Amino acid sequence: MKIINKISLLLACALLAACSTSQPIRNMAANPVPSNLTEEQVANAIITAGISKSWVMRQEQPGLIRGQVNVRQHQAVINIPYSARDYSINYVSSVNLDDKGKGSIHRSYNRWVLGLNQAIQLELARAQSR
C-alpha cells in the first residue's frame, strides 16, 4: 500500500510540473547570418520576418531593431541587435506574461520568439538566394 501511495504522489508531482506555464526566458545570442549579405539586407530580413509573424518592428538605430507583439492582453518587447555577421534576440519587457524579474516567463513568449527566429532564418535564406 505504501508503494502505491508513493507512486501516486510522484505522478501527481509530475503532472503539476508538466502543467506549469513558466519557463526560463530564452534569449537567442549570435545567430549566424549568411556571409554574402549586407547589414541592410539583414535588417530588411528581420523586419519582413517580424511583420510576417505579427510583430511590430521598428529600427531604433543602425544595428538595432525593436520588436513588439501584442496577443490579446499580452505584450512582449524584444531588442534585435544585428550586423552583417550575426543577430541576437533579447528580451526587454512584457505585460501579462508572468515575468516577475526572476528570469522566467509564460511559455508563449518563448514560442513567439522561436517562431520569429525561424522566420528570420527563412528570410535570410531568401535574401541570400537573390
Q: What is the pLDDT of residues 118-127, one digit of tens each?
A: 999 999 999 9
- Residue 12 pLDDT grade (very low, low, confident, very high; cuts 50, 70, 90): low
Q: What is the pLDDT of residues 62-107, one digit of tens each?
A: 999 999 999 999 999 999 999 999 999 999 999 999 888 889 999 9
117-122 long-range contacts (CB < 8 A, ≥24 apart) are 117/28, 117/31, 117/89, 119/49, 119/50, 119/52, 119/53, 120/31, 120/45, 120/46, 120/49, 120/50, 120/87, 121/31, 122/49
Q: What is the pLDDT of residues 17-60, one digit of tens each?
A: 555 678 999 999 999 999 999 999 999 999 999 999 999 999 99
Euclidean distance between CA atoms 29 and 80, whole angstroms: 10
Architecture of domain 26-129: 2-Layer Sandwich (3.30)
Helix (H) / strand (E) containing 95: strand 86-95
